[in-house]
Structures are given as C-alpha cells and as structure tokens.
Amino acid sequence: MKNKDLKIYLAAPRGFCAGVDRAIEIVKKSINKFGSPVYVRHEIVHNKHVVENLKKIGAIFVEELSEIKDKTRPVIFSAHGVPKKVPKEAQDLKMEYIDATCPLVSKVHREAENLNKAGFHIFLIGHENHPEVVGTMGQIPEGSIELVETIDDVEDIDIPSNKKLAFVTQTTLSVDDTKDIIDALKKKFPQIKEPNKEDICYATTNRQAAVKKIASKCDMFFVIGSRNSSNSKRLVEVADKAGCNYSELIHSESSVPLEKISKCNSIGISSGASAPEILVQNFIEKIKENFNVEIQEVEIVKENVTFKVPGKLN
C-alpha cells in the first residue's frame, strides 16, 4: 500500500472550540489553586483522551454530587451546563463550585429564563438526554419548556393558539436539520418568537461549513471525536449529506481503517469541538506509514474567539 498515492483534505477550523479550551483550563487552574483532587460533575467535555489526561493530574469525575466523598473539595460543572438544582445542591452541601459552562450555552440559559419570565411557552430544539438539553430545560419550571427533536414532533404539538410561544436551540446541532425544524415551527406558529441571534454556536457552524466544502471531493470522510459528542456525530451526518459516500466517526476504540482507505484516492478529515489536535495528527501519521500522502488543508475562516476563565482562579 505504501506505493499508493492518497490525497487528504483536512478541514479547518476543526477540533477545540473556545468553550472547550476554557473548560479544560478551568480544571487545570482549579487543581493548581486548590490542589488535588478536584471533582468534576460529568465529563468536562465529551472526549476520553481529555478526561484521562485530567484524571492523571488530579481530577475525579462523577455524575452526581452525592458520589463525592469529601465535600470539602471543590467541584467543577462541565462545559455542557447544569440544571439550576445542581448549584443549589452544592450550596446546600456547602461545597465550593466552579462553573465551566460554555458562555454560549449560558446565553441560551439566560434566553430561556427571560422568555419564561415574559410568559412564553418555550420549545427547545435538541437531543433528548444530552447534558446540554438537561441543563437548559432545568433553568425554568417543568412544563414551561418542551423538547422538539424532529419535524414530526412539531406536527404533534398541541397547544392553545393564544399562548405566547418562543424557541431556543441546543448549541451543537446540525445547522441544516435545525433550519428545517425551525421552518416547520414558524409555519405552524407564525407568531413564534425566535432568538435575536442564532443559538447554534460559531464553532459548530464553522466546522460543519468546512466539512461541507470538501466532503463531495472525498471517497471517504473521517471525523475524529467521541461517540457521546453531539457536534462530532453531526459532522459525520453533514459529510454524508454533502455528497461523501462513506463517512465514519473515529473514536477512542477505533482502529485506523487502512483496508477501507486503500480503496480511496482521496479522504477528508475533521474533528469535533472536544477532540484535541493530537488525535488528528496521530490518525494522519498512521495513514502516512502506509500511503504516499499529500495533505491539503482547506480553511474557510480563521477563528479567534477566546473566553476568560472565572476571576477567582487567576
């Protein structure tokens, strides 16, 4: 196979977004400030490689605060955000907590709260049980926000016509699929209030646009990311819809599918917003060992967004 030429289209931007960078930085700075262990509620970001590296320096991951034996140690809330009851529980337990919720997710939380205060019934476009969705729905009283996952869900909505309606969305959705659901909501409820600024985050939008740009040129498309990463799974779907015949998620248990790649003349590579660049480079190195590789990086936009870590960690 080493004699075979292979062209790699490398999507840019790819990988870590500002919210992920900030969340990882918060864990590291918390360990520096408070010593170890520091507890983290839920995976700080959806990537096994990141989580394992943070465990090595003193982070302990739990799903609920009740699992934390030593309540004198600080706890960090993940980038996906948490329902209101979680900080309250931490306060009741007199625990020090640091919130690593991505600022763009916090923006959706505030939107939902403000809409609720203004008397709107809210639809949240998102995926059931995703921690971001659980967090957003947990900002306001039960019954005042309902989940919409598909166009069929829109058709099934039965709500009095005199109700004030609004929608918000999960930040890591497929831009195209979400547009179809929004169109269906607007058609059924012409008066529905939409967010002033789109909720899907800049990084999700940019990564999907970069994949779209190159997918049709590729015999196969690979997205480096975790199986529980919403934005990574959406990139695989985007590559499929944009004209690549075969797209695949490469996660921590995946081996490099050299046999499949040997049948290709060109492949595309991107990575989800919680996947470190080292995983992309390792994947490419493995391919280079077996093929004559030419890499073309296709960058659609330069990202220069950064988010500050909480002041108390500086």
- Residue bearing tokens 């990311």: 225
What is the Cα–Cα distance from 282 to 286, expressed in whole angstroms? Answer: 6
- Per DSSP, 193 falls in state B
- Strand order through the sheet with 145-148: 145-148, 121-125, 165-169
297 is catalytic: no
Q: Encoding tokens for residue 280?
A: 């992309």
Spot the catalytic one: 63, 132, 277, 299: 132
Angstrom CA distances, 227 to 176, 189, 233, stand at 21, 35, 7
Token digits for 216?
A: 């049709």
d(CA 201, CA 212): 17
CA distances from 213 to 13, 195, 206, 286 (A): 12, 27, 11, 25
Q: What positions carry a catalytic annotation? A: 132
